[in-house]
Structure 1
Amino acid sequence: PSFGFLFDIDGVLVRGRTPIPAARAAFRKLVNPQGQFLVPVVFVTNAGDCLRQKKAEQLSHLLGVPISQDQVMMSHSPLRMFKRYHEKCVLVSGQGPLLDIAQDLGFCQPITIDTLREKRPLLDAVDHDRRPNVLRSQEQLFSLSTVVLFGEPVRWETSLQLIIDVLLTSGYPGNPYGQESYPHLPVLACNMDLMWVAEAQSPR
């Protein structure tokens, strides 16, 4: 065939974990009796909270047709091309298996917000119940050279505070803020959507 299809996922084929009824019927017309697609099909999504293989398995289950990871383009997929950052120590923020996602994309030294918080517990002061009761010597930490935002975090206040610390200390969180330098460390934001469609009647 001389054409193919690019399908958005959320709000187009599924709402949250519920497939749109017409989508399953439509996809049955796109495959032959052996379950093979009759034309090239690729799925694109702003989601960044899982590996491509996991998303392919979810789609296969929801739509009732076999889908491979090579047919899935996640919001973080283009980071495979950002090879100049792959050997550097990067801070990753979002949800899901962050280290697995980062390493699958080629990053060799990813550090999560939770790991940074463990190494620099005094930086996270909003939630009084999570403040350390006993001060301990701070662990040695490699300088961070880049911030990677895979998607929205759960604890916004912690993520925002620690990311600000990384940017205002040029990669040495825990140090005093220095003079603001511009440009600051690179921030690679995979998904800048502030609204999306799920099962609720109104966008989230």
Structure 2
Amino acid sequence: MAEIFSRLNMFRIGWRGVKLSRKVTHAAVSAQTQRRYSTDVCEQECSLFGLLFDIDGVLMRGRTPIPAAKQCFRNLVDGDGKYKVPVVFVTNAGNSLRETKAEQLSHLLEVEVSADQVVLSHSPLRVFTQFHDLCVLVSGQGPVVEVAHNVGFKNVVTIDMVREANPLLDVVDHNRRPKDMIPPSKDLPPIDAVVLFGEPIRWETNLQLITDVLLTNGRPGNPVTSLHYPHIPVLACNMDLLWMAEAKNPRSVFASQE
């Protein structure tokens, strides 16, 4: 009888060991499955890192891609042309729309680039909502009015509009001075802020008229009676002094005006 009880006790201990082993095995398999599922989901829906590329002097020199850039982006996309990790392009250029820049990058780098992947120097102006309803003077070249509206400004005045309203202000170029009678000035609303998108073509005109706007507190047709401090706000999108294009030496740009 004692031997029977002893065997039953050994069987009971062994059965407990089997059950414990099954629990451990099940837990290990469950954890492994969970890890595999988490990895699969992460690979499909998220990435642990992304890539931020500067453009001028890094990917391109002017409109010419740097030789290794195309190969780099071939390695960053899969067989369907989709990016393996999030990719964003940043640049201090500000004389174009994001859509235009995205099309240019797509063509030159031979990968699909959407406007949502492009951050231009004027992109942060979207959050400057306190200025969006003010009358702003915009300086630059290209579609500056369209760019201004695109980032949220509603009441936009251009350098040409100021010049036409006040033709005696811009006299450096003798060929553009009034030939005969001085035409009457056109009324413009007072300017509340100045937005510098990029380098202008006629630097002397832009510098002179922006200076007039600042000295007259937004009314360039008026005489300077006193200096206002602080002057009306100036929003400068790009503070670079130099940039690299196709030339062997850097080019002077926008912030040189300041």
TM-score, length-scaled by structure 1: 0.98
Does 1:171 pair with 2:218? yes
Superposed structure 1 runs of 4+ greater than 2 Å apart: none
Does 1:55 pair with 2:101? yes
- Separation in 1, partners of 2:160, 2:148: 15
C-alpha deviations, 1:7-29, integer Å up to 9, x for none?
A: 00000000000001100000001
How far 1:152 moved relative to its partner? 1.0
Q: How many pairs were matched up?
A: 204
Does 1:37 pair with 2:107? no
Q: Secondary structure at the match of 2:76?
A: coil
Does 1:161 pair with 2:208? yes
Higher relative contact order (CA 8 A, sep 6+): 1
Could you tell me which residue of structure 2 aligns to residue 147 of structure 1? 194
Q: Secondary structure at the match of 2:232?
A: coil
Could you tell me which residue of structure 1 aligns to residue 247 of structure 2? 200
Q: Name the one with the larger helix percent.
A: 2
C-alpha deviations, 1:47-90, integer Å up to 9, x for none?
A: 00100000000000010000000000000000000011111110
Q: Which amino acid aligns with 2:130?
A: R
How far 1:154 moved relative to its partner? 1.1
Q: Secondary structure at the match of 2:211?
A: helix
Could you tell me which residue of structure 2 aligns to residue 185 of structure 1? 232
Q: Which amino acid aligns with 1:27?
A: F
Q: Secondary structure at the match of 1:185?
A: coil
Could you tell me which residue of structure 2 aligns to residue 17 of structure 1? 63
Question: What is the aligned counterpart of 1:111 among 150, 157, 172?
Answer: 157
Q: Is the 8 A contact 2:164 2:186 kept in 1?
A: no
Does 1:125 pair with 2:125? no
- Separation in 1, partners of 2:230, 2:164: 28
- Separation in 1, partners of 2:231, 2:75: 50
- Separation in 2, partners of 1:101, 1:36: 29
Does 1:84 pair with 2:120? no
- Separation in 2, partners of 1:68, 1:140: 41
Q: Secondary structure at the match of 2:205?
A: helix
How far 1:151 moved relative to its partner? 1.0
Structure 1 unmatched runs, 5+: none
Q: Greater CA radius of gyration, 1 or 2?
A: 2
TM-score, length-scaled by structure 2: 0.78
Structure 2 unmatched runs, 5+: 1-46, 252-258
- Separation in 1, partners of 2:165, 2:184: 9
- Separation in 1, partners of 2:240, 2:158: 21
Percent of counterpart pairs with the same letter? 63
Q: Which amino acid aligns with 1:58?
A: Q
RMSD of aligned residue pairs (Cα, Å): 0.7
How far 1:135 moved relative to its partner? 1.1
Q: Which amino acid aligns with 1:128?
A: H
How far 1:178 moved relative to its partner? 2.0
